[in-house]
Structure 1
């Protein structure tokens, strides 16, 4: 533990870099939190800013140097009789005034209670943290990364795990053969679907001739003049612009995620179980998944699937 509030810095990925990335944000988040002291068990007496004036180490560095309990918590130096502080030597005459100021500062503390210590978000009246609040705090002008299709990822009516998967695709971080090889794993780079080219994110999900047949299911339905973009983010952005010609915008927006999720499941079936479906079965699986997300009910009725497609 780095302190009583957080774990130590992550030095390796442990198979995924997600936690390491989250952990790097902690100093920024911690600087926008304040301590609500309760029993004092988690609050460092000297290091933490549990008083409104700031941390005691910063306010009284000369007194801190002489103290013998520099790593103790508030609970460890407080009792019902008052503060139990010990120092390395008696104070000199010229130090007495500083010690008086030190103890006067401590008078603001009225004693602990049985409630656990907690961190509170400074920019909320009740001290509650939210991702939305943190985003507004660190992005005050509400600027978006140019061309980043966040609405197609997080606003689409699809399962949350699929939204996360689509986000990884947009970040080029899905564990395809190419990305696994970048981590030092010796593998054959061939695509598990077509077996013709290297399995990169852009190839597997955009340009593979097998995946293209899933795209054609929907593109041909609307008779679009479509040229597959080079990147996932470009695909989402352009696909979103075509939603205006669709009869049902929300259904139209989930199509890319449906294709990619179906492709990934088929790829993993071939990779991990050495099994495969025919292209006809892959198309049917994709259509049934699309129908399920639209209707939120499972039906293997081909006519009902066709009706959903007809509403696009």
Structure 2
């Protein structure tokens, strides 16, 4: 009832000009044009969730499309790790292929496994940073995006989480399906080479350029 009264009061204050032709206007914009973005903002509570979801760190950086898509699946927790396969009624052991100690979950594989922790520590050491690792992938990505870094390194900085996720997933699948394990040092080098190729949009061309790139990973 109150809403009806408010509507009638609002209509009563509107002055109509009979000589002006009728036209459709979107009331939320001064231009009168309808915009999907403006409509989405009117949805209310859902918008608050979207604002806090780290989608920009995935889709707003220039990564190969398959890397962006994979990072998105990791954030949503739907990578086909053993815990997710078990939920789909697959019968299997759930031991992590990387450390061979703990059960394989997404948070363990990408964050808590010792091999994953070593990759995160490698980048933190390059930037001379200390960091308390959050407990899940979404919090990690959000926390990573909150670091204030110089504009000269910002583009590379945003690529690092996806680089780590992809490197671990490649190595995990190699161990799972091919029975081949990469040494820790080679895995770290491969991770840095992925990052190099995505930054420069080309494969590694010389050892010197790679070493110069690694030495440039600093916040100073």
1:298 to 203, 214, 217: 203
2:84 to 169, 175, 179: 179
CA distance in 1, matches of 2:83, 2:176: 14
**Matching residue of 2:173:** 268
Which structure carries more helix by proportion?
2
Q: More relative contact order in 1 or in 2 (CA 8 Å, sep 6+)? A: 2
Contact (CA 8 Å) 1:247, 1:311: kept in 2 or not?
Answer: no
CA distance in 1, matches of 2:106, 2:143: 18
**Matching residue of 1:234:** 139
CA distance in 1, matches of 2:148, 2:166: 20
**Matching residue of 1:170:** 75
CA distance in 2, matches of 1:214, 1:268: 17
Unaligned runs of 5+ in 2: 1-25, 27-34
1:200 to 105, 109, 125: 105
CA distance in 2, matches of 1:298, 1:160: 17
Unaligned runs of 5+ in 1: 1-122, 124-132
1:258 paired with 2:163, answer yes
CA distance in 2, matches of 1:172, 1:185: 17
**Matching residue of 2:6:** none
Q: 1:114-148 CA deviation, whole Å, 9 max, x = no partner?
A: xxxxxxxxx9xxxxxxxxx7665444468241531
| Aligned residues: CA RMSD | 2.1
Q: 1:223-280 CA deviation, whole Å, 9 max, x = no partner?
A: 1111111111111111112242574101110001001101000000111111111111
Instruction: Find the structure with the greater CA-based Rg.
Output: 1
1:224 paired with 2:129, answer yes
Which SS does the other structure have where 1:242 is aligned?
coil
Q: 1:105-144 maps to which residues of 2 (within 5 A)?
A: 137-140=39-42, 143-144=47-48
Contact (CA 8 Å) 1:210, 1:279: kept in 2 or not?
Answer: yes
Contact (CA 8 Å) 1:243, 1:252: kept in 2 or not?
Answer: no
Q: 1:79-158 maps to which residues of 2 (within 5 A)?
A: 137-140=39-42, 143-145=47-49, 147-158=52-63
Q: 1:168-198 CA deviation, whole Å, 9 max, x = no partner?
A: 1111111100000011001110000001101
Aligned length: 181
Distance 1:144 1:251, change over 3 A: farther
